[in-house]
Amino acid sequence: MPADTNFPEADLDGCTVVFDLDGTLVDSAPDLHRALNVVLGEMKLPAVELADVRQSVGLGARRLIERVTAMHGVELEDAELERLTGRYVEVYASDISALSTIFPGVVETLEWLKRCNAKLSVCTNKRTALSRQLLGALGADHYFADIIGADAVANRKPHPDHYRAAVAAAGGEVGRSLMVGDTDADAISAREAGAPVALVEFGYTETAPALLGADAVFSHYHELPEITLRLLRVA
């Protein structure tokens, strides 16, 4: 965040801001890429490029494995897909933050939101335990009232129930909440729950964020405070 950026004074008491994790708060693709190529190597399949992983992260580990192996012409039975997903998670979790970094401006923005009395939570299609482990390893878990992974709900993103659960876990109300994400799953989940959506331009999506129907799109976190106040209609 530029040193001369001054965040506005505001009172967000009663408001909830929900964040996606991978591609929104954390650039985790390098570690996901590392783990995936270990698994592909064990399968005697060629490694994939980092760009392929960045476009396939949003729907979770199992779908990532399924999609990338299909790129190599391999169709997996459910049992084998489950085994490979487990192996991938094992490799990933063994050194979860080796190459991952929090995006620029995230910490300053989270600090601002906390100073403004906002409630914060995470709504991610990553498994809950892995999400807690990653944010803990990066020293950012304490900002959030709760972290709701795909395994914590019956219907994960893009279903609106996942977003509703993340808001409720923070003690908030959907009518006074905002989703910050990077993919169509984030946009659909919040929009169908009745909440506004702000998408980052630098996340993990095949479709340009501007085409996903968000209420705002931003390229740096120093833009999010103004967007938050506008979308939550805070004077």
Taken in order 220, 223, 224, 225, the sign of the CA dihedral is positive
Residue 22 annotated in active site: no
Torsion over CA of 84, 85, 86 and 88, rounded to 10 degrees?
Answer: 90
Active-site choice (4, 20, 95, 151): 20
Residues tagged active-site: 20
